[in-house]
Amino acid sequence: MRFVEPKIFILGETRIDEDGLKAFLEHIGAPEWQSDAPTDGEKLIEMYGRLCYESFRLGLNPNIVKIRATNLDYITNVKKKGDGSILEHATVNFVFCNVSRVFTHELVRHRTGVAISQESLRFVRLTDLGLWLPTVIKEDEKAVEIFIKTFEEMERLQKELAEYFKLDTQHRFEEKKTTTSAMRRLAPDGLATNIGWTANMRTIRHVIEMRTHSSAEEEIRFVFGKVAELMVARYPNLFADYEVEMVDGLPWYKTPNKKV
């Protein structure tokens, strides 16, 4: 048994095909359009928004008499109006490591605009159980003792069953899979695991607001506080509207633009 802390990794994000964008702009008659967006994701959001109104330049749409000059001004206005659909065009690919299955059960409730790939205990045999302790447990010596004793026993049972079924000498993976799948029923929800989570920007904003809320479960508050910190640093224009309040030692990210 080992103590762990959740970790967040970004593996990928939306990238613009510059040749494709150039060809599109020439097609609609705005080859000179440029954006000062700090990231491709924010530039793409602006581009799709301007596509809806043909607002790449004055004169393209005779109804347009004003063009917002900067990406920050454009995205700020989008969020103010609640035009959240264009945020769905840009995505970020995360991996959350050392999170519990308590966390993953909470995370998968957010289904819109996401893709999920989780470590499968049907295939991955448990040998060394990782544990993250919530504050209410961590601050109580007796409770910590109970948690450790329980996890150590769960780990012992996994090893005992693996030995009983001779999994280390079993060469047929199908047999290993069947047995490992059965053994996972003795795995606690607090077991550390890994999960891949891809989400569009609209969903990321929504989940940050929901899961850093002071009433949310502690571990998911911790993780999405870290996610929010990464997003504010990485996409400054898109996440510039957040304010942070510390509650019980964890950040609560709030925005007036709740419709987006």
What are the domain boundaries of the chain?
12-88, 122-186
User: Are residues 4 and 132 in contact, defined by beta-carbon separation less than 8 angstroms?
Assistant: yes
Place of tokens 């996890």: 151
Distance of CA 180 to the CA centre of its chain: 28
Q: Is 212 exposed, middle or buried (0-12, 13-18, 19+ CB in 10 A)?
A: buried
Given this model, what pLDDT does residue 80 score? 93
Tokens linked to 103: 């966390």
- According to DSSP H, which parts of the chain are helical? 18-28, 40-53, 71-81, 101-107, 135-138, 141-164, 173-183, 201-211, 218-234
Given this model, what pLDDT does residue 242 score? 96
Given this model, what pLDDT does residue 259 score? 72
Place of tokens 């809320």: 213
Given this model, what pLDDT does residue 14 score? 98
Amino acid, res. 42: E
Per-residue pLDDT of the chain (260 residues; tens, 9 = 90+): 999 999 999 999 999 999 999 999 999 999 999 999 999 999 999 999 999 999 999 999 999 999 999 999 999 999 999 999 999 999 999 999 999 999 999 999 999 999 999 999 999 999 999 999 999 999 999 999 999 999 999 999 999 999 999 999 988 999 999 999 999 999 999 999 999 999 999 999 999 999 999 999 999 999 999 999 999 999 999 999 999 999 999 999 999 987 77
Given this model, what pLDDT does residue 257 score? 86
CA distance 178 to 194: 21
Half-sphere exposure of 55 (CA within 13 A, CB side): 18
Strands annotated E in 5-152: 7-13, 91-100, 114-118, 130-131
Cβ neighbours of residue 164 under 8 Å, at least 6 residues apart? none
Sign, Cα dihedral of 49, 69, 71, 245:
negative
User: Are residues 84 and 260 in contact, defined by beta-carbon separation less than 8 angstroms?
Assistant: yes
Distance of CA 160 to the CA centre of its chain: 36
**How crowded is residue 126: how many other Cβ atoms within 10 Å of its Cβ?**
21
**128-158 pLDDT tens trace:** 999 999 999 999 999 999 999 999 999 999 9
CA distance 245 to 72: 23
User: Are residues 30 and 57 in contact, defined by beta-carbon separation less than 8 angstroms?
Assistant: yes
Given this model, what pLDDT does residue 178 score? 95
Given this model, what pLDDT does residue 228 score? 98
Number of helices (H), then strands (E), belonging to the chain: the values are 9, 8
Given this model, what pLDDT does residue 223 score? 98
**How crowded is residue 206: how many other Cβ atoms within 10 Å of its Cβ?**
19
CA distance 55 to 66: 9
User: Are residues 200 and 260 in contact, defined by beta-carbon separation less than 8 angstroms?
Assistant: no
